Structure 1
């Protein structure tokens, strides 16, 4: 069995500076013939530890697929080909930090993550297989544009419209069909959930783990 490069191909939203916010959609490298792992995480005020991981129902390297993040003040929805795979709700009322007060940029990149992403860092990148590439197409974004100069958003104050004049994402949530789809994905394809890792969180799970995930 040959070893592929253990690289981390990611699509993420991230703010800048200390105490940053971040929403991650990442593909972890693998060994040849092994399935790829999709890793998701949410950071708020510099704190993460909200990971869920999945093995998808298709080979993500065989063709292009659509990976989406819906981020509004109520929830974050991760979707693959418009199928929701994860929802992270705003539970600030429970004392859980939620990323909604910092402007974020979109990043699409390729990282060497063999210090942690490959069986806990036990397997290292095979650099003889370089160069490594990641390809993206049909990128699209619809967002509120933040003005640092005036500390205002294009979705607030005197302006009420987001980019592309579509505001539906600002209140988007799952309907009954969406909840059924995310349950299907999580029952069949989730391989890690921070809310079920008692060894890692021996002092107790985060408060949102006791609430509905959908």
Structure 2
């Protein structure tokens, strides 16, 4: 599948029949089982409620973060999150998939905090072989700090779709035939972190973190991964051949999803790199010609 420009019937048959191919395994998540706390000592990261709830916190000394134990190559990843309430200016809550190494593949949700009463900015990006600069930003149609909402990444050989509560907000198609790099060969883990970025996060760094409001806390629940899971001991993964839950692997956005995407772009998009020609004096990136 590495380097494939599009999903084909031959590719599907290979995936379903090969004993060593990457294949899908649905997993209802438990934070004790599925994640490791990676930074933020002295209880800044906590797993609670028998592994069904995780909290990250940030104070003036340190933020905190976690990563998945499993690595994936394609999948549909869901996470319920409740963001830092009140004055969250200067803080960033990041939730993303990333490979390891200096030329990483990465698919990002980043929530940029703001003053009380102002909307969060949802910053999205995609990196392939270390190349990013594909930022799109949105405001949301609800307060993401008031309750849990589901943030999803669908990543398959055809496209990447970012969704919020099942509503697609962004799509990045596989356009390798046109010379656009696409993340389809590197294993990725799920990561999240809560950290201070007041040099740029809120109004370009004009609004700084108010440490009197610390600790800042973000909460997580409802992790679900229907994904191709890599088993390092075996050097492969094993699939449940032909299961209906594998449908995400060949999924592409339908007409209803496209209409919802257009609604989000019309009403809630606040920045799109594809409409910022000053950043690209030699011409917009080729994927911009798709309109998304």
Q: Is the TM-score greater than 0.5?
A: yes
Distance 1:115 1:170 in 2: 39
| Equivalent in the alignment of 1:173 | 252
Distance 2:170 2:130 in 1: 21
Which fold has the larger relative contact order, with Cα–Cα distance below 8 Å and residues 6 or more apart in sequence?
A: 2
Task: Output the aligned Cα RMSD.
Answer: 1.9
Are the equivalent residues in 1 in contact too, given 2:99–2:186 (CA < 8 A)? Answer: yes
Say whether residues 1:198 and 2:198 are aligned partners. Answer: no
1:66 alignment partner, SS class:
strand
| Equivalent in the alignment of 2:266 | 187
Distance 1:3 1:133 in 2: 11
| Equivalent in the alignment of 1:116 | 200
Q: Give the structure-2-normalised TM-score.
A: 0.66
| Equivalent in the alignment of 1:208 | 287
Of the structure 1 ranges 75-84 and 114-123, higher mean CA displacement relative to structure 2 is found in 114-123
Q: Give the structure-1-normalised TM-score.
A: 0.89
In the TM superposition, 1:11-26 aligns within 5 A as 11-26=95-110
| Equivalent in the alignment of 2:186 | 102
Of the structure 1 ranges 165-174 and 31-40, higher mean CA displacement relative to structure 2 is found in 165-174
Distance 1:89 1:111 in 2: 30
Distance 2:251 2:161 in 1: 9
List alignment gaps of at least 5 residues for structure 1: none
List alignment gaps of at least 5 residues for structure 2: 1-85
Of Structure 1 and Structure 2, the greater strand share is in 2
Distance 2:128 2:196 in 1: 23
| Equivalent in the alignment of 2:151 | 67
Q: Which has the larger radius of gyration?
A: 2
Are the equivalent residues in 2 in contact too, given 1:68–1:79 (CA < 8 A)? Answer: yes
2:265 alignment partner, SS class:
helix
Distance 1:172 1:121 in 2: 39
1:40 alignment partner, SS class:
strand
Assess, with a 3 A threshold, how the Cα gap between structure 1 residues 114 and 91 changes in structure 2: closer, same or farther. same
| Equivalent in the alignment of 1:126 | 210
Distance 2:240 2:200 in 1: 41
Distance 1:138 1:77 in 2: 19
